Structure 1
Amino acid sequence: MSARPIKKKYIIIGSIILLLIILRLLLPYIVLRYANNTLANMNGYYGHVQDIDIALYRGAYQLNNIYINKLDSATRKQTEFFKAQTIDLSVEWRALFEGSLVGELELFSPKLVFTKDKAEIGQVAKDTNDFRKVLKDFMPLKVNRFEVHNGSIHYVDSTSAPKVDISLKNTYILARNLKNTSDKKEKLPSSLVARANAYGGDLSLDMKLDGLAKEPTFDLTAQMTSANLVDLNDFFKAYGKFDVSKGSLALYSEFAADNGNFKGYVKPIVKELQVKGTEDKHDPFLQKAKETVIDAAAHVLKNPKKKQVATKVNVEGRFHDSHTDIMGAVWEVLKNAFIEALLPSVDNEIDISSASEVPQDEKKGFFKRLFGGKDDDKKKEAQEKEIKEKEEKRKKEGLERFKTANEH
């Protein structure tokens, strides 16, 4: 072989390598321009990305310092809606090794803001198709894993006096197996966990779900502990026209959904509530009167042993026709105040089988609830006994797991 063909061969190889290097250097700018063009032409929104990093070795790229604002079509004024320090989009290698080509989405320090009359939850929900289109443009693979680090969620009302800004901070979310790439025989193969700080309290949510079901199918448990109500005074002043000088809020809930049905409960517990404090002495007379009435009502409905106001609201029905048992909530308040305190924990009484068939409630009058017959009392005692047994079993299993972990 002559020297000329060999030289030509190396020239071709070198040219290809040089072309790949140039393409790699230009790729972030090409993708950045495409991303900003896409974000600038969203219907009802405007967004921008400051920088893009590409990591070909792991099949990923990162959007740095991204924001998406709600855009007023008439005034062109923008309202803060979403921003994040970094969004990482990549191939999920674990699923790839299991034979599924899917993606994972990771957000660092994201902030989501819902604003009254401008970017409310209901309005944003109607725009989900636009967001799905943008996500599909940025991530052609179906997202199987989703993770959020150090996020915050806000609800803002700038029209109220004082201005309301309630939030969850230090939020962590992890959703796995959303496209059911593993555990395919499980009824609820996907999972979602969330943790957040809420005004000195901790919020936790655990959910098993079927992400591919035609109708919502899930089993959810959530609780919030020891949120300081004093920190929510702007909210109380704006919407209730009163403020709190002392008190904490705990919230426990379970919900399940299957076959278009859902069933669950919400159990809020307020402890050591004081509405009228010494700092209110300069308030107008009507304001003092209102706070005195609220404070008196709280004391009337307070359990003397637990020093708490609590109720349990049962909610069940179909997704097109929900029903909240309001009289049941009133009954639980009175029952808690004068008979017993609600246990400050989830009741472990709702699971996926609870939602399979939602029975029609027997319609009872208020006084029948309050002064039920012996049959009602026996039924209630049996239910309470079952709940306590489940709670004791859960604690026992937790203790056994703890002992086993220590032994290892």
Structure 2
Amino acid sequence: MNRDNQRSTKNFKWKRAYSIVAGIALLLIVFRLLLPTMVLRYANNTLANLDGYYGQVADIDIALYRGAYQLNQFYLNKVDSASGDQAQFFRVNRADLSIEWRSLFRGALVGELVFESPELIFTKDKAELDAVARDTNDFRQLLRDFMPLRVNRFEVRNGSIRYIDSNTSPIVDIALEKAHIVAENLKNTARKGEKLPSNLQAEAQAYGGTLTLYMELDALARRPTFDLTAEIEGANLPELNDFFIAYGKFDVSQGTFGLYSEFAADGGRYKGYVKPIIKGLEVMGTEDRKDGFFQRAKEAVVEAVTQLLENPKAEQVATRVPIEGSFGETNVLVWEAVWQLIKNAFIEALMPSVDHQINIDSPKEVTGRQGIFKPD
């Protein structure tokens, strides 16, 4: 009898243990099934009550096995505080937020963020530098809210950046498209001890041309610390005629545009330059024969000035604009830019490439030269 009682007690304990395990497993399954809905509700409530913005997420997928979740069809609009009108600001087909396993193996618990087909939109009257900086900070804070881990790696696939001015005729809508951006080691889990341990690489399509950018930086520095090189090559100017007509009241019949730039910043100071180069520019074309007299006269003046400043051998109009100063005070060396324009036209053509004259030590040379123009 005692043996039977012991067997019954033992069976009861096993059944109770199985029941507890099964109950816990069932609760975990139910929780897993409900988790995306719970997170989606939290996300949309948060996005609907942002100060100055309104956003929504269509769906959220969670992959616990790799420590990740995805926001699908996510958009964020800017809201005008006075009228309540919304303007498109950011949208993305899918945002993947996950643990970066490479850094985890180094003992650092950090995150990785990947955007699939995102679009960032700046609109007229909302694209001033102060507004852009404010939007960027707000957006970074939003990402921190949605990403509990510090982002160490960031990638954009097939992205675009647009500028829209709907108050002009024609409407200005220009964009960099098919952008691929990769930023790594933002939290310095590797290459410790280096002055610029992080890096960012970017490529994009620009009206038949290409944009390439490379930057080394210290993403953890209190003040901007970076060394940047950027190039735009082969952009087709006639594809930008809406921009020229809207702001310059003329169009062009042919020509290509390139831009070459280097900048470095350290210790609250920066130094660099931009070098725009226009090749084979023609303003007057057969399509302009139907224009009115004053329009044709204006375009004739533009073309005459262009021809005057064009280097005859290289067939290019170019200048080099040095820019330096401290953050909060931009110094554009105007007379140096004018001299470079004249030099390109009459003495020696500027090379369509970066000059490799700027590095992380260059900001130390900024002394606040006299006779420079300081824009607001």
Q: Which range, TM-score by smaller chain?
A: over 0.9
SS at match of 2:189: coil
CA contact under 8 A between 1:216 and 1:258: conserved in structure 2?
A: yes
SS at match of 1:183: coil
Query: Deviation per CA, 1:209-253, whole angstroms, max 9, x where unpaired?
Result: 001111111000000001000000000000000000011001100
Cα separation, 1, equivalents of 2:226 and 2:211: 19
Cα separation, 2, equivalents of 1:350 and 1:307: 27
- The aligned counterpart of 1:367 is none
Deviation, structure 1 residue 129:
4.6
Cα separation, 2, equivalents of 1:20 and 1:59: 16
- The aligned counterpart of 1:25 is 33
Q: How does 1:1-400 map to 2 (within 5 A)?
A: 2-118=10-126, 122-361=130-369
Cα separation, 1, equivalents of 2:151 and 2:289: 56
Cα separation, 2, equivalents of 1:349 and 1:129: 31
Unmatched segments (≥5 aa) in structure 1: 365-408
Residue type of the alignment partner of 2:182: L
Query: Deviation per CA, 1:350-374, whole angstroms, max 9, x where unpaired?
Result: 110111231344769xxxxxxxxxx
Normalised TM-score (structure 1)? 0.87
Per residue, is there more helix in 1 or in 2?
A: 1
CA contact under 8 A between 1:255 and 1:351: conserved in structure 2?
A: yes
When residues 279 and 123 of structure 1 are mapped into structure 2, their CA distance, relative to the original with a 3 A threshold, is same
When residues 294 and 339 of structure 1 are mapped into structure 2, their CA distance, relative to the original with a 3 A threshold, is same
When residues 146 and 98 of structure 1 are mapped into structure 2, their CA distance, relative to the original with a 3 A threshold, is same
SS at match of 1:306: coil
Deviation, structure 1 residue 321:
2.0
SS at match of 1:33: helix
When residues 360 and 69 of structure 1 are mapped into structure 2, their CA distance, relative to the original with a 3 A threshold, is closer
Unmatched segments (≥5 aa) in structure 2: 1-6
Cα separation, 1, equivalents of 2:311 and 2:54: 52
CA contact under 8 A between 1:70 and 1:119: conserved in structure 2?
A: no
The number of residue pairs the alignment matches comes to 364
When residues 298 and 192 of structure 1 are mapped into structure 2, their CA distance, relative to the original with a 3 A threshold, is same
Cα separation, 1, equivalents of 2:141 and 2:355: 41
Residue type of the alignment partner of 2:28: L
Deviation, structure 1 residue 75:
2.8
- Amino-acid identity (%): 61
Cα separation, 1, equivalents of 2:34 and 2:323: 56
CA contact under 8 A between 2:126 and 2:132: conserved in structure 1?
A: no
- The aligned counterpart of 1:393 is none
SS at match of 1:356: helix
Cα separation, 2, equivalents of 1:132 and 1:169: 22
When residues 124 and 343 of structure 1 are mapped into structure 2, their CA distance, relative to the original with a 3 A threshold, is closer
Residue type of the alignment partner of 2:328: H
Deviation, structure 1 residue 274:
0.7
Residue type of the alignment partner of 1:322: T
Deviation, structure 1 residue 299:
0.5
When residues 124 and 250 of structure 1 are mapped into structure 2, their CA distance, relative to the original with a 3 A threshold, is closer
CA contact under 8 A between 2:186 and 2:220: conserved in structure 1?
A: yes
